[in-house]
Structure 1
Amino acid sequence: MNSKAQKMELNDGHSIPVLGFGTYATEEHLKKKSMDSTKIAIDVGFRHIDCSHFYQNEEEVGQAIRSKIEDGTVKREDIFYTSKLWSTSHRPELVRPSLESSLRKLNLDYVDLYLIHFPVSLKAMEKCKDAGLAKSIGVSNFNRRQLEMILNKQGLKYKPVCNQVECHLYLNQSKLLDYCKMNDIILVAYGALGTQRYKTCVNEDTPVLLDDPVLCAIARKYKQTPALIALRYQLQRGIVVLVKSFNEERIRENMQVFDFQLASDHMKILDGLNRNFRYFPADMFNAHPSFPFFDEY
């Protein structure tokens, strides 16, 4: 099946490619790598690019997208671009200027999806959608209770199309996934391969997801890498998955996730690896009244 054609419909009529390319770069010197790896990702077939003001590399990612539009690889409408509103710009009067600032850096007219990076009000986001600056709006790191507060809000104009959360075999978010599906909200997974993504959040006691013996045994059965099994698991659960790499070989390899399918008994075995373990606990926010991770899900 052509991977580029695999999309999920959002509740506002737009659609999102099920495999996305993450661009978070932890250090300054990686910005150039963000640009190069985004170009490679588009060349090998990624059409969903996930970035954020917080990542401080939107200029480089924007340049990569524009260069691929200019050389004829893609048209703007082929690319699904996600950006996020960071926690310093939650006051309603700062939301649109923050999005406009991202668009200037990117040199794009609109983003396909604009997310609230951490739990806050949706009102000003709705205005960005009305103005055509964002095709769809969603949330990130919201728990069930916080989603419920939005969905029950008087005068809600647009339901969030997705909730982007940490989700992997050790934190499979099954209850949150069920809740989102019930309410026609798509779950988007970041950190889908565990520790590899968050070097700053780990110590020597942190379990390395891709070394898990059960995962590795299943990978051998399918003659695939543990990373591909971990990604395929998410896709078969109806989750949109973000993957990040600066390595050309791995970027290409990630596209092979569409070349095979996991049997239901193997899916069940992988379900059993859940241990509600977060690689990214966001401790710097835990004193905030809206901190989302104290709830069960």
Structure 2
Amino acid sequence: MASEKPLVTVTCTAPVNIAVIKYWGKRDEDLILPINSSLSVTLHQDQLKTTTTAVISKDFTEDQIWLNGQKVDVGQPRIQACLREIRRLARKRRSADDKDPLPLSLSYKVHIASVNNFPTAAGLASSAAGYACLAFTLAQVYGVEGDLSEVARRGSGSACRSLYGGFVEWQMGERADGKDSIARQVAPELHWPELRVLILVVNSEKKLISSTVGMQTSVETSPLLKFRAEALVPAHMAEMTHYIKERDFQGFGQLTMKESNQCHATCLDTFPPISYLNDISRRIIQLVHRFNTHYGETKARWDWGSTGNP
């Protein structure tokens, strides 16, 4: 058996992803299982990314975590879910390997420092990049291999999509235990090199209503949400996948905007209603439509998630 290292440090980065078929609403709050499948584009890490460093040591007496330099509660359920699942997978791998080649001890506590180079909790998918980075970094520290969709998803649903580049589908799955609710790449990162994404930060402040709270309220009160998930999203997933594979920007752009409209219509159908758009957001929408009308085709598209930032 290899000797244990007294200190192990790993640093990783993870990207932001922007959903073009929206995820809004869960069928299981604990396992974070969505009521519909979703599809996203992963952005380049040169502009937006999370950087996470994890250190395990025999000298640490407790797990600790810092976000953007501020210590946060490591006991938060979603953080604990990620830690438990990674350690479970590491134990499972060790017990299956008689030679036990891993030099790391699962009894070591971990210290984690995570930094976003963009506004946090402002609707720019910071939780997606953050938990994808956390899952991947912990996997490297504890020697876990294979698909990490389930681990990342337990932190933030959309985080499983940030584990892959290019265009990524998060399958809603049907199983109660969520084993089939995983991410898969629809097209690689070099598939559509001409595509450009422009992020406009019109409000960098923390959202008044978090996505988690907003989703739960919509599930409880919005009839439109259920109709969208069951009657519209399956067809939209197929259409969007086709547009992506064919690099059809006309179809891709128009469906992205319609999806964004439906997401915000669902928020307004929620009681009390939720509004993430602001006056600047609406002016940008009008500008894009005027731009496309001028050229007689869809040359640009806008998209909003649970935020006023396009």
TM-score (norm 2): 0.26
Higher relative contact order (CA 8 A, sep 6+): 2
- The structure having more radius of gyration, on CA atoms, is 2
TM-score (norm 1): 0.27
